[in-house]
Amino acid sequence: MALERNRILIETINRLIRRGATDRLKKIIGKVHEADLPPVFRSLSAASQHKLFYLIDDPEKKGYVLSELDEDIAADIIEDLSVAQLVEILEEMPSDDSTALIKILPPETADTVLNIMRKKGAEDLEGLLRYEEDTAGSIMTTDFIALKPEMTARDVIETLQSEKEYHDIEMPFYIYVIDDEGRLVGISSLRQLVVVSPSTPLRNFMSTDVISVSTDMDQEEVARIVARYNFLAVPVVDETRRMVGIITVDDIIDVIREEATEDILKMAGVGEEFVETKSIVRSTRIRLPWLFVSFLGGVVAVFIIGRFEENLQQGLAYLAAFIPVIMGMGGNIGIQSSTIVVRGIATGRINIHHLWAVVSKELAVGVILGIFYGLFLGAIAHLFFRVDKTTALAFSVGIGVLSSMAVAALVGSFMPMMFARLRIDPAVATGPFVTSAIDILSILIYFQVAFLLLGL
């Protein structure tokens, strides 16, 4: 229902842009929910996105759209904004989104903007900017509710009603309790607040068993904690346990999505390609190294086959015809095994200490499938290749497929387990090494078996 509404919105806006109906566009953009705008933007060309952005009036909406767009498009748009416009937008953004935006500004612009914002007494954005990327500090927001333990439920409710700064808070569900030094000592919730009697002090209805994260914790770990405990937000503390921010579940959803995407891309050796989707040069540079490893593997295969060249010439050239299928079957089951293992490690379903259990299961699957396809390919060779030693040929290709698939399942599961134990990211390392190892081993075993059986 909501998505259907969205499709209609996208179509309408596309039509109005083609017609250049600026006034109607402005009216519609003013009315739609901010969350519906990013999909509209993504459906447009870069030029139209620019145009549409200037039709947004509300700086808060502008900020939201900028924070949701692809980095390269956002960077494009803000290039054309004046410093005054930028400041106006940044002031309306939650601190986690505004720091992200400042990071993609040209350095001089960022400095000017920060100076103006500091003079205006805005929050400590510079403090936030110092956290390293992908840490808890870099994704937290500094807008949260932290109160003293001696306040009563009635005091808390009055504070929520009167303090204007609390009205903008993104996720006002938890109430954090801090001591005089700002250290996190307890946590309560709006839920508790409405069920206790008004005179109860926070101290009496807060929980002191607070799970918090530190500013330098990796965002993936933060996501795991929030997901595991079903939190709506998790507090962030500095080295002295002073509370400095919170990370809300909506940002965790983004982290989980991002990390899944990264893992998928890394396995194909295109790790950071989503960062700047438009640049061909950059895409090329990102893909080059991964391809290089498998290129080297391929070159090794060239020399292996070259070594058997004379035999190939001696009337057995048809052996070459089976190279692609034998390599391909090994490559494919190798990808299957390594995918299962890499994803299993990432989701915690495979324990990296259960090495032999995992590898032997994969090997068993490889052998079963290898026997099946080996018999199949052997039969094809026997039926269609009427040469001197057709039975020997059939056995050779059959054993070739079997050994290639068995080795591939073994290597494909063993390598990511080993990489993980050596603390090398299995998603990055597995791809090229597994492919190359399988290519080389498949060819080697196939030719050795063939020349043995064919008596060359």
* Least distance to its own copies, CB of residue 337, Å: 9
Interface with its own copies (CB under 8 A), residue from 26, 50, 51, 361: 361
Told to check if 61 binds its own copies by CB under 8 A, we report no
**Where would I find the beta strands (DSSP E) of 108-173?**
146-147
SS3 379: helix
* Least distance to its own copies, CB of residue 264, Å: 5
* Least distance to its own copies, CB of residue 399, Å: 16
Residue 191: other Cβ atoms inside 10 A: 11
Do residues 403 and 449 touch, judged by C-beta distance below 8 A? yes
Distance between CA atoms of residues 373 and 398, nearest Å: 8
Do residues 205 and 192 touch, judged by C-beta distance below 8 A? yes
> Of residues 413-432, which lie at the interface with its own copies (CB under 8 A)?
none
Told to check if 186 binds its own copies by CB under 8 A, we report no
Do residues 297 and 436 touch, judged by C-beta distance below 8 A? yes
> Of residues 209-268, which lie at the interface with its own copies (CB under 8 A)?
211-214, 217, 221, 224-230, 232, 249-250, 252-254, 256-257, 260-261, 263-265, 267-268
SS3 20: coil
> Of residues 19-58, which lie at the interface with its own copies (CB under 8 A)?
33, 35-36, 38-39, 42-43
* Least distance to its own copies, CB of residue 84, Å: 28
Q: Give the residue carrying structure tokens 């809300």.
A: 248
> Of residues 97-156, which lie at the interface with its own copies (CB under 8 A)?
none
Of the pair 109, 448, the CB lying nearest its own copies is at 448
Beta bridge partners of 189: 174
> Of residues 324-343, which lie at the interface with its own copies (CB under 8 A)?
324-329, 331-333, 335-336, 339-340, 343
Interface with its own copies (CB under 8 A), residue from 108, 165, 180, 303: 303
Q: Give the residue carrying structure tokens 């990055």.
A: 428
Told to check if 359 binds its own copies by CB under 8 A, we report no
Told to check if 452 binds its own copies by CB under 8 A, we report no
Of the pair 113, 235, the CB lying nearest its own copies is at 235
Of the pair 86, 441, the CB lying nearest its own copies is at 441
Distance between CA atoms of residues 306 and 272, nearest Å: 37
Interface with its own copies (CB under 8 A), residue from 31, 165, 280, 386: 280
Sheet holding 213-214, edge to edge: 213-214, 233-237, 243-248
Expressed in percent and rounded to 5, the helix, strand and coil fractions of the chain are 70, 5, 25
Residue 122: other Cβ atoms inside 10 A: 15
Give the per-residue SS3 of 26-68: HHHHHHCCHHHHHHHHHCCCHHHHHHHHHCCCCHHHHHHHHHH
Of the pair 84, 364, the CB lying nearest its own copies is at 364
Distance between CA atoms of residues 204 and 207, nearest Å: 8
Of the pair 274, 451, the CB lying nearest its own copies is at 274
At residue 208, what are phi and psi to the nearest 5 degrees?
Answer: -95, -5
The pair of three-digit structure tokens given for residue 18, joined into one six-digit string: 């083609």
# chain residues binding its own copies, by CB under 8 A: 120
Told to check if 437 binds its own copies by CB under 8 A, we report no
* Least distance to its own copies, CB of residue 368, Å: 5
Candidates 47-55, 123-131, 200-208, 314-322: pick the segment binding its own copies (CB under 8 A).
314-322
Candidates 100-108, 121-129, 199-207, 286-294: pick the segment binding its own copies (CB under 8 A).
286-294
Told to check if 453 binds its own copies by CB under 8 A, we report no
